[in-house]
Structure 1
Amino acid sequence: MIKKSKLFGNKTRVTFCLPGDSPAGPVSVVGTFNGWRPGAHELKRRKDGTRTVSVPLSPGHYSFRYLASDGVWLDDDHADSVGPQGSELRL
């Protein structure tokens, strides 16, 4: 799931969220906004079992995927669309 919250100026806080049954081990959101670097935005487990990370982004079009341990890639069904580079987000 993806939540979008307007910040001051033209930035938007995007919160990436995976359900409690997501793969074990570390999971990062990687994409065009962080140079596809694993670990740059690692999701943290919450008390309700979900995992989240928030990233402030400027207006634009971004591609992203979730990267779990052992090289498992996941797309987000709640993204604006899914394309050749994975999930897509428009702000």
Structure 2
Amino acid sequence: MLERKKLKGGTQVTFVLPEDTPDGPVSVVGDFNEWDPAAHPLKPRGDGTRAVSVALAASSAHSFRYLAAGDYWFDDEQADGHDGANNRIRT
């Protein structure tokens, strides 16, 4: 799930997943963090989900995917679109 909050000059995008699906650590990786799995790991929240927020420039588009333990890559059903294997998000 994607949550968006407008900021001055950009958008805060929060990437949200259930706390235990999939099992183990999960990161959001994309062109906004040079596809670095250590840059944005999802962390547990009190509501039974885990999430991480990323500030993105206004009027921009980015490719991203989730990366879980065991080199398991997966998509977000709420992405704005796809560019081949990757999800796309627009701010």
Q: One fold, TM greater than 0.5?
A: yes
Matched, 1:39 2:59: no
Report how many aligned residue pairs link the two structures. Answer: 90
The aligned residue for residue 58 of structure 1 is 57
Identical residues among aligned pairs (%)? 52
SS at structure 2 position matched to 1:82: strand
Q: CA deviation at 1:71?
A: 0.3
For normalisation by structure 2, the TM-score amounts to 0.91
* Inter-partner Cα distance in structure 1 for 2:32 and 2:85: 13
> For structure 2, which runs of at least 5 residues remain unmatched after alignment?
none
The aligned residue for residue 30 of structure 1 is 29
* Inter-partner Cα distance in structure 2 for 1:58 and 1:47: 28
CA-based RMSD of the aligned residues comes to 1.2
SS at structure 2 position matched to 1:70: coil
Q: CA deviation at 1:21?
A: 4.0
> For structure 1, which runs of at least 5 residues remain unmatched after alignment?
none
The aligned residue for residue 87 of structure 2 is 87
Divergent runs of 4+, >2 A: none
Check whether the contact 1:75–1:82 (CA below 8 A) recurs between aligned residues: no
